[in-house]
Structure 1
Amino acid sequence: MPDRTDLLVVGAGPYAYSAAALARDNGIETRIVGLPMAFWRKNMPVEMFLRSGPDWHLDGKGEYTFEAFFEDRGLRPEDVDPIPISVFLDYTEWFRGRKRLDVDERLVTGLTKPNAGFVATMDDGTTITADKVLASPGIGYFLNLPEWYAEVPPARRSHTCELVSFDALAGARVVIIGGRQSAYEWAALLCDHDAAQVDVVHRHSTPTFAKVSWGFVDQYVDQTLAHRGWWRGLPVERQRAIAAEFWQVGRLTLEPWLVPRIPEAVVTSHPGCAVVATAISEHDVTLTLSDGTTLTADHVVFASGYRADLARVPYLGGVLDRVSITEGFPTLTEGLETSLAGLYLTGFAATRDFGPFYGFTKGCPSAAHIAITDMLG
């Protein structure tokens, strides 16, 4: 007989932790499967810093917050500003312990719904049946890459989530494609590890480096909780205005602590440019930019972000034909449920229907509230 549970949470990242914890707090029998915080541990550099502060947390009940963790560990915000990724990972483990979240570290290889319930096949061949499934696929499935990416030999290219160790690029010439926080933070990390030359190529203007407040997001998340379907009910013009505000603060303004780590003698920005041609030799890659500049690199880093495409999530293959998809995103109800009854999706996959804030940890507690409230009817 297969294992059975009321709710199966697939994934073990921040959104999954939040949802699983709140489900249990509300008496729902819940299993959570996946590798704990795997993307954060394996696909982010240990020297990375958070852009957010200790006010962003995982607890839908508002008890085991990041600030509560700081107090428990005797940390002062001013002593860890910016916050190292290691501190956030310590918080997630502390939260998991306080909430008694026992994570089954097997992976789901397939999901079906043969009748009223779901059957998840695990990587050891066993199965778990569940009345409902909440999936939180990580952004690692959704790499956004330009068409010419495949022209660069695999040994000479990396997406930022693949390049988390930099020692091998000491003395190297590196071109970074992209101009947001990850592009310039990876430039800083390359400089920290003695890269010889770093060129950063992006279509938009050179971003500003300044301290910003993410407090503007709070009102939008609060509105999402206060009014079911708030984001999707907004006029398109209002959605675009909020997205532009988010873009300005979160994308075109970068952290000032990067500035001393990106010396002009090493790092050159190429704003308003795109790659229009590539030439590959045995030893390097030459890129021609739209302004006529040519750059020769030992390695190309794609800081090109992520684009939703639910078809890339392998374990959803068995149910995908029953899930309505728009531009790669699942079409979700006001309760984060897909068109396949009982299947919920959260995190980055929900940003089209719930707003850009749900691609960040800020959205974790509210997403948990929305989904679990819907499940409870």
Structure 2
Amino acid sequence: MPKRTDLLVIGAGPYAYSAAALARDNGIDTHIVGHPLAFWREQMPADMFLRSGPDWHLDADGNFTFEAFFEDREMRPEDFNPVPIAIFIDYAEWFRERTSLEVDERLVTDLTKPSGVFIATLDDGSTITAEKVIAVPGICYFANLPRWHADVPPTLRSHTSELVGFEDLAAARVVIIGGRQSAYEWAALLCDHGAEQVHVVHRHPIPEFAKVSWAFMDPYIDQTLAQRGWWRRLSAEKQHRIASEFWRAGRLTLEPWLVPRLATEVVTSHPNCAVIDVLPGDQDVRLRLSDQRTLIADHVIFACGYKADLSRIPYLRSVSHQVSTTDGFPDLTDGFETSLAGLHVIGFASTRDFGPFYGFTKGCPSSARIAVDELMRRAA
């Protein structure tokens, strides 16, 4: 017989862990499916560092925090500054163990709602029937690329979410398109692995490299919890002011620990520039810039971030026509519910309606709290 559950959580990353653990702890029969932390393990470099610190965690109840993990492992947070990605993965798995959260490692290939309940078809052909669904689509679906990217041969191009190993680019000439944290961190990783040349091309001035505090987000998260729909009820002016504050800290300022790794004899920045022409060859590609310089690259890396587009989610293709969207983002209620009753979406795809904080792990506990409170309110 097909498995039945009250709540199906699709995804097995930090946001999914937070929501599934809290839902189950509040008496909701919950089933979570997905490859555990697949994006973190497979689409982020093993030797990269996080911009966040030990105060960001997954537990909406505040018990199994990142700081509690350090204490349990008898490690000092100050010895891991910046935080290696491997340490955060260890924490997330520790959180899963401590909360006794079992993850079904099959994948959902299709989701339908034929008669009032959801039916999820899995990659082995079996199905799960659920009253409610929380979907946490990973940002790998949303890789943003410039229009001209297709002019670069597929073998000579990668998005940062695809390029996580750098050994094959030792002694290579690489051009990175983009100028934020991922662009310069990938440049540093290329230096670490012996690239010959790295050119970083971006439309804006060179960012500042300085330590910033992310504490400015705390009151905004608190407001989101205290007042349902807080972000969407702000005036456009206030949203812009907060987004600009977030942009200054998270985008215009990059981590200072990158600087000593950006070898000056290898890395060249091209600020206030754009690519205006592409001349592909068999083994390399020539990029003509708006300042009339031409760069020759063995590989082009697109560090252009992510852009929401719910139509890219394969398992939602059967219900996508029932989900209202704006600019690719699902239109959400104050409880993260889409226009398709019972389907909730959290994580990056919720940032238009809940604020930019929900594209970072900082938003995990509060999004779990809001979504689960909504589920319980509807069930009451």
TM-score calculated relative to the size of structure 2 = 0.99
Q: Which amino acid aligns with 1:15?
A: Y
Deviation track 1:15-43 (CA, whole Å, cap 9, x = no partner) reads 00000000011000000000000000000
Q: CA deviation at 1:291?
A: 1.2
What whole-Å deviation, never above 9, does each CA across 1:96-124 have from its counterpart, x for those lacking one? 00011110000000000111210000001
2:125 paired with 1:125: yes
* Aligned 1:268-283 pairs, distance under 5 A: 268-283=268-283
CA RMSD of aligned residues (A): 0.5
Query: d(CA) in 1 for partners of 2:77 and 2:21?
Result: 26
| CA distance in 1 between partners of 2:281 and 2:319 (Å) | 44
Deviation (angstroms), 1:374: 0.3
Are 1:141 and 2:130 an aligned pair? no
Read off the aligned partner of 2:292 and give its amino acid letter: G
Q: For residue 74 of structure 1, give the secondary structure of its aligned residue in structure 2.
A: coil
Q: Tell me, in whole angstroms, the C-alpha distance in 2 between the residues paired with 1:107 and 1:283.
A: 37
Deviation at 1:83, TM superposition (A): 0.5
- CA offset at residue 264 of structure 1? 1.4
Give the gaps of 5 or more residues in structure 2. Answer: none
**Residues 263-296 of structure 1 deviation map (CA, whole Å, 9 limit, x = unaligned):** 1111011111110000011221100111111111
Residue number in structure 1 paired with 2:340? 340
User: What is aligned with 1:116?
Assistant: 116
Give the aligned length: 377
- State the 1:200 CA deviation: 0.2
> Aligned runs of 1:193-232 on 2, under 5 Å?
193-232=193-232
Q: Deviations over 1:48-90 (max 9, x none)?
A: 0000000000001000000000100111111010010000000
Which residue in 1 is equivalent to 2:353?
A: 353
Comparing 79-88 and 274-283, the one that deviates more: 274-283
Please give the residue correspondences for 1:307-322 in structure 2 after superposition, counting only pairs within 5 Å: 307-322=307-322
- Residue correspondence of structure 1 range 136-175 to structure 2 within 5 A: 136-175=136-175
How many angstroms does 1:155 deviate by? Answer: 1.0
1:97 aligns with 2:100: no
> In 2, Cα distance between the equivalents of 1:4 and 1:363?
29
| 1:229-268 matches, cutoff 5 A | 229-268=229-268
User: Which amino acid is 1:12 matched to?
Assistant: A
C-alpha distance in structure 2 between counterparts of 1:95 and 1:361, whole Å: 14
**What residue identity is the alignment partner of 1:318?**
S
Distance 2:337 2:182 in 1: 31
| Structure 2 letter corresponding to 1:361 | T
Tell me the CA shift for residue 354 of structure 1: 0.1
**Structure 1 residue 79 corresponds to structure 2 residue 66:** no
> Structure 1: which 5+ residue stretches go unaligned?
none
CA deviation map 1:234-253 (0-9, x unaligned): 00011011111111100010
Q: Distance in 1 between matches of 2:267 and 2:94?
A: 38
Question: What is the match of residue 324 of structure 1?
Answer: 324
SS at match of 1:341: coil
Runs of 4+ that moved beyond 6 A = none
- Once the two structures are superposed, residues 120-165 of structure 1 have per-residue CA deviations (whole angstroms, 9 ceiling, x without a partner) of 0000111000000000000000010001111111111010111111
Letter in 2 for 1:127: T
Distance 2:330 2:150 in 1: 27
Q: TM-score, normalised by structure 1?
A: 0.99
Within-5 A mapping of 1:180-191 = 180-191=180-191
Partner amino acid, structure 1, of 2:332: L
Distance 1:94 1:121 in 2: 29
Q: What secondary structure does 1:132 align onto?
A: strand
In the aligned structure 1, how far is the partner of 2:26 from the partner of 2:228? 20
What letter corresponds to residue 349 of structure 1 in structure 2? A
Matches of 1:330 and 1:260, distance apart in 2: 41
% identity of equivalent residues: 70
